[in-house]
A and B are shown apart, each in its own frame.
Chain A
Amino acid sequence: MNIMVFIKQVPDTETKIKIADDGKSIVEDGINWIVSPYDEFAIEEAVKTKENLGGEVTVVTMGPKRAESALRTALAMGCDKAIHLEDDAFEGADAYSTAKALAKVIEKHNPDLIFFGKQGVGNDNTQVGQLVAEMVGIGHIGTCIKLEIDGDTIRGEREIEGGRETVETKLPAIVTAQRGLNEPRYPNLRGIMKAKKKPLEKLTPADLGLSADEVGLAGAKTVYLSLELPPARQAGKKIEVEPEVAAKEIVEFLKNEAKVL
């Protein structure tokens, strides 16, 4: 089976984000970059599927030079080769112009099964996998927590409000991975050393048959106007009385001050 997994390099989820002087981007200095956590589930599922059914896994990312280390991590976890969409023209992309470029990679390589994380942590658009499926014209199973493959049919379970649903589609198809799908493996040290020798191909917009104004910021349908940090947490309030009185005071507080009841 020809498997493809799309990943994104994002700031570590524990990063203390600082907003840059332009007010619409973040300061990248000192950030520890990681593979987006949902993409780790996608990589694990791709590698597991290869181990069960045979085939090859290609890992793809779009991003600056530093994103190469995310590809190396995926290769160390067991992916076989990597594609890096690296070009200044790709910078500043929104979900739409990202999907446009990634869809071209799929059209070029015709994979049978494609994995994404359900969302890239950080921007959290939760759009790219679905947009790509739409652009390529194939089915998708979103926020998948369990996947079965039966010939050219895949069945996925997804959590919905108050329950679960099972959906089915034909390959080729896209699956976006949700927490619970699997337990991602650590990239083992032998894998890390082997990853060095695995092929990593660089692609520009031209390689994908796209012009520079169709990708990145130029091709985006949305732009960032401003970023704001959440308001600083106020000091807490301590209620130091007997439990019965405290319960009453808390209810009063929630009603009148916090206005959540």
Chain B
Amino acid sequence: MKDFVDFLNINALFTDEERLVYQTVHDFVEKEVKPIIADYFEKGEFPLHLVKTMGGLGFLGSTLNEYGGAGLSNVAYGLINQELERGDSGLRSFVSVQSSLVIYPIYTFGSERQKEKYLPGLISGDLIGCFGLTEPDYGSNPGGMKTRAVKKGDRWILNGTKMWITNSSISDIAIIWAKTDDGIQGFIVERGMQGFSTPEIKHKLSLRASVTGEIVLEDVEVPEENRLPGAKGLKYPLMCLTQARYGIGWGAIGSAMDCYTTAVSYANERVQFDVPIARFQLVQKKLADMLTELTKAQLLAFHVGRLKDKGEHTHQMISMLKMNNVRIALNIARTARDILGANGISLEYPVIRHMVNLESVKTYEGTEDIHTLVLGQYITGFQAFNPFKK
């Protein structure tokens, strides 16, 4: 497998199909993403023209066997995320949201009519979706959300504000989670519905090649047929997040790989004191630590992926995967930045871009702290992130 950092011969564990999936996504990123992504990042723009290409190649909703999905294993899905994030976290974020936070809930909790109406377009890339759970005052504590949906005849009236929403201003539909008299429920809100707007968040210094925005809902009337019938309660949006976090656990490996390989080639080429800096013990120690952490992260992702293929994963495993792999990726990016010296801050190299992207990836989809406390609860039985809950 070309350019696959593979200290432990992990490629031997993949199926032929998984290796081919890797090759396709890897080639796509090499040819279509890498040459342009630094410019998009600098301009603060998402490369929207890649969406239909990715849909055409089967990158969206790829684990589904129906509605145009390729029917891939979870490991192959992971490799897609890894390679896209080797390009840029923004691109992987797009695919995570579309696949895990829009296609997944419609497929899992939606009606037949909803599936037929939305899934083919979402999978081909003709439709773009976003996921509205987080609010300005409710991030780690989504259960406290203020967005409300009130039933009025055969319609629901939605009011509230969602914040930090990937894809918001380029989306055709939004999965909005709102409190009802019957607990938290999900609604498919379409662009064009009166009172629905999506202002973009500007001045980000991270995920600049990705669209982030708000969703403002002012008396938006949503027909009952747009309510997701299979999801009542906070558990359901959290199930979506478990899917997305799984992909992030793989995606982070992609950033880390790109930073690692960049640092290795830089260290071999950069000459100081008449020798390549790769000759110096301190540089070697950094590279050795990077490779070790990267390899451990790969094994964690691969193993959780195979468990997920068998339906034997738990959400705590995915918390560990997301927490660990993003943490090590960020550390690898920072170390690579250091090895590259002054060049490490230039967009001519991918390292600083990955590094600042990963600052977002660390926070979104469950912060490192929250995932730590999820594991704390698993170990001790005590839930520590909500001081008022026994």
> How many angstroms between the C-alpha atoms of A66 and B289 in the bound complex?
34
Question: In A158-205, which residues have CB < 8 Å from any B CB?
Answer: 186-193, 195-196
Contact B16 A72 (CB under 8 A): yes
Answer whether residue B56 sits at the interface, using C-beta atoms and an 8 A cutoff: yes
Contact of A189 among B16, B19, B24, B27 (CB under 8 A): B24
Contact of B70 among A32, A34, A72, A190 (CB under 8 A): A190
Q: 1/0 contact trace for B3-23 toward A, CB 8 Å?
A: 000000000000011011101
Question: In A70-103, which residues have CB < 8 Å from any B CB?
Answer: 72-73, 76
Question: In B48-72, which residues have CB < 8 Å from any A CB?
Answer: 56-59, 62, 68-72
Contact of B17 among A14, A32, A192 (CB under 8 A): A192
Known: A12-B2, A188-B58. A69 touches B28 (CB 8 A): no
Contact B2 A193 (CB under 8 A): no
What's the nearest-Cβ distance from chain B to residue A6, in Å?
20
Answer whether residue B1 sits at the interface, using C-beta atoms and an 8 A cutoff: yes
Residues on A with beta carbons closer than 8 Å to the beta carbon of B20:
69, 72-73, 76, 187, 192, 195
Contact A189 B57 (CB under 8 A): yes
Contact A186 B19 (CB under 8 A): no
> How many angstroms between the C-alpha atoms of A69 and B14 in the bound complex?
13
What's the nearest-Cβ distance from chain B to residue A39, in Å?
15
Most buried by B among A32, A68, A73, A193: A193
Determine the residue in chain B with the shortest Cβ distance to A192: B20
Question: In A1-41, which residues have CB < 8 Å from any B CB?
Answer: 12, 14, 32, 34
> How many angstroms between the C-alpha atoms of A68 and B23 in the bound complex?
15
Determine the residue in chain B with the shortest Cβ distance to A72: B16
How many residues of chain B get a CB closer than 8 Å to chain A's CBs?
Answer: 23
Contact A189 B2 (CB under 8 A): no
Contact of A186 among B28, B62, B72, B76 (CB under 8 A): B28
What's the nearest-Cβ distance from chain B to residue A238, in Å?
14
Residues on A with beta carbons closer than 8 Å to the beta carbon of B2:
12, 14, 32, 34
> How many angstroms between the C-alpha atoms of A76 and B24 in the bound complex?
10
Contact of A192 among B21, B27, B56, B68 (CB under 8 A): B21
Residues on B with beta carbons closer than 8 Å to the beta carbon of A12:
2
Contact B72 A193 (CB under 8 A): yes
Contact of B56 among A34, A72, A187, A188 (CB under 8 A): A188
Contact of B16 among A69, A188, A190 (CB under 8 A): A69
Contact of A193 among B17, B19, B56, B57 (CB under 8 A): B17
Residues on B with beta carbons closer than 8 Å to the beta carbon of A189:
21, 24, 57-59, 62, 70, 72, 76, 80
> How many angstroms between the C-alpha atoms of A186 and B30 in the bound complex?
12
What's the nearest-Cβ distance from chain B to residue A7, in Å?
15
What's the nearest-Cβ distance from chain A to residue B46, in Å?
21
Contact B17 A188 (CB under 8 A): no
Residues on B with beta carbons closer than 8 Å to the beta carbon of A193:
17, 70-72
Contact A196 B17 (CB under 8 A): yes
Q: Is the interface of B mostly helix, strand, loop or mixed?
A: helix
Determine the residue in chain A with the shortest Cβ distance to B59: A189
Determine the residue in chain B with the shortest Cβ distance to A189: B58
Determine the residue in chain B with the shortest Cβ distance to A187: B24
Determine the residue in chain A with the shortest Cβ distance to B62: A189
Contact B1 A186 (CB under 8 A): no
What's the nearest-Cβ distance from chain B to residue A153, in Å?
34
> How many angstroms between the C-alpha atoms of A152 and B248 in the bound complex?
54
Determine the residue in chain A with the shortest Cβ distance to B6: A30
What's the nearest-Cβ distance from chain B to residue A193, in Å?
5
Residues on B with beta carbons closer than 8 Å to the beta carbon of A196:
16-17
What's the nearest-Cβ distance from chain A to residue B315, in Å?
27
Residues on B with beta carbons closer than 8 Å to the beta carbon of A187:
20, 23-24
Determine the residue in chain A with the shortest Cβ distance to B1: A32
What's the nearest-Cβ distance from chain B to residue A1, in Å?
25
Residues on B with beta carbons closer than 8 Å to the beta carbon of A191:
58
Q: 1/0 contact trace for B275-293 toward A, CB 8 Å?
A: 0000000000000000000
Residues on A with beta carbons closer than 8 Å to the beta carbon of B24:
76, 186-189, 192
What's the nearest-Cβ distance from chain B to residue A185, in Å?
9
> How many angstroms between the C-alpha atoms of A56 and B2 in the bound complex?
31
Residues on B with beta carbons closer than 8 Å to the beta carbon of A73:
20, 23
> How many angstroms between the C-alpha atoms of A122 and B56 in the bound complex?
32
Determine the residue in chain B with the shortest Cβ distance to A76: B20
> How many angstroms between the C-alpha atoms of A69 and B21 in the bound complex?
12
Determine the residue in chain A with the shortest Cβ distance to B31: A186
Residues on A with beta carbons closer than 8 Å to the beta carbon of B27:
186
Contact A192 B70 (CB under 8 A): yes
Residues on A with beta carbons closer than 8 Å to the beta carbon of B68:
190
> How many angstroms between the C-alpha atoms of A186 and B55 in the bound complex?
13
Known: A32-B1, A193-B71. A188 touches B19 (CB 8 A): no
> How many angstroms between the C-alpha atoms of A76 and B27 in the bound complex?
15
Residues on A with beta carbons closer than 8 Å to the beta carbon of B72:
189, 193
What's the nearest-Cβ distance from chain B to residue A118, in Å?
22
> How many angstroms between the C-alpha atoms of A61 and B80 in the bound complex?
29
Determine the residue in chain A with the shortest Cβ distance to B60: A189
Question: In B63-105, which residues have CB < 8 Å from any A CB?
Answer: 68-72, 76, 80
Q: Which 10 A-B pairs have the closest CB atoms?
A: A189-B58, A189-B70, A190-B70, A188-B57, A190-B58, A192-B20, A32-B2, A188-B58, A186-B24, A193-B71
A-B contact pairs, 16 of them (CB 8 A): A14-B2, A73-B20, A76-B24, A186-B27, A186-B57, A187-B23, A188-B57, A189-B57, A189-B58, A189-B59, A190-B68, A190-B71, A192-B17, A193-B70, A195-B17, A195-B20
**With A189-B58, A190-B69 given, can you name 20 additional A-B contacts, CB distance below 8 Å?**
A12-B2, A14-B2, A68-B16, A69-B16, A72-B17, A73-B23, A186-B57, A188-B57, A188-B70, A189-B57, A189-B62, A189-B72, A190-B58, A190-B68, A190-B70, A190-B71, A193-B70, A195-B17, A195-B20, A196-B16
